[in-house]
Amino acid sequence: MFAATLVIDGRVVGTWKRVFKKAGIEITATPFTPLSPADAQGFAAAVQRYGAFHKLPVRVVSDFGL
């Protein structure tokens, strides 16, 4: 019913979902509008922290160049 939200500077800018697979975690991000390079880089850093928390590699599937 509710999608996980991508929040930057207190604003919802998209959604994301994750799927656990044998090889690691696959994260699909769907921004509502194109992200700035800085915001995309911040998201990439957060994704890596998420993978480290689960002790699994992460693969990002998105349409904003991560």
Read off the pLDDT of residues 2-39 as tens digits, 9 standing for 90 and up: 889 999 999 999 999 999 999 999 999 999 999 899 99
Q: How many domains does the chain have?
A: 1
Chain segment 46-55, per-residue pLDDT in tens: 999 999 999 9
Indicate the SS3 state at residue 52: helix
Domain of 19 in residue numbering reads as 4-62
Quote the pTM value: 0.80
Indicate the SS3 state at residue 43: helix
Q: Which two tokens stand for residue 39?
A: 């915001």
The pLDDT, as a whole number, for residue 62 is 74
The pLDDT, as a whole number, for residue 3 is 85
Q: Where are the beta strands (DSSP E) in the chain?
A: 4-8, 11-21, 24-31, 58-62
The pLDDT, as a whole number, for residue 38 is 93
